[in-house]
Amino acid sequence: MAEIEALLPYLRRNRAEIASAERLLAAAGDGSDEELALAVTDALTFAGGELAEELRSEETFLLPQLAALDVAASDEVEIIAFDHLRLRVLHLELENEPHDRSRATAFATHLLAHSQWEEQELFPVWRERLVRLTAGSGPAPDPAAAPAPRTGDDDRPHLTLIEGGG
């Protein structure tokens, strides 16, 4: 199956997000206070670094390009914007109350749901739309066939089709 080169880094980072969320959920659920503290420290470091960069990259590069190609539907962009805002708020709440298991659980649960939705629902639909668009079979499919919603600059890479992969 064809993969879209520009989506590959996002898929890899989503897997890191899922792993981070699962570790935090486990520690918040039945871990000792020390395990929770370590998992929260790791999650806050991840959220303030890799995750923050991921969200900015999606918002400033990926989404505008996909929207310009009519690949990302406006409702999908709105869901992502809301999810990103919610993740930022939950990150700040966890940062302010790092020993609160419910805050850790809320952040981890939302990060996990968002990352899985992107990986399992959204990215496959975008890939299909891009493949059809790139293959010249007409415009991208109707955005109404979107994934189920859940509870550039010249030096930037361009969306290109490569063969192989997932």
Nearest CA to 111 among 93, 125, 126, 132? 93
In a domain, 144, yes or no: no
Most confidently predicted of 11-20, 35-44, 61-70:
35-44
pLDDT in tens, 129-146: 888 887 875 555 554 455
Q: What is the pTM of this model?
A: 0.78
In a domain, 26, yes or no: yes
In tens, the pLDDT along 37-46 reads: 999 999 999 9
Q: Specify the number of domains making up the chain.
A: 1
Residue 69 lies in a domain: yes
- 157 in any annotated domain: no
In a domain, 8, yes or no: no
> Which tokens in the block code for residue 163?
């063969």
Residue 163 has pLDDT above 90, yes or no: no
Range of the domain at 124: 15-134
Q: Which of 32-46, 66-80, 152-166 has the lowest mean pLDDT?
A: 152-166
- Nearest CA among 23, 26, 51, 41 for reference residue 99: 41
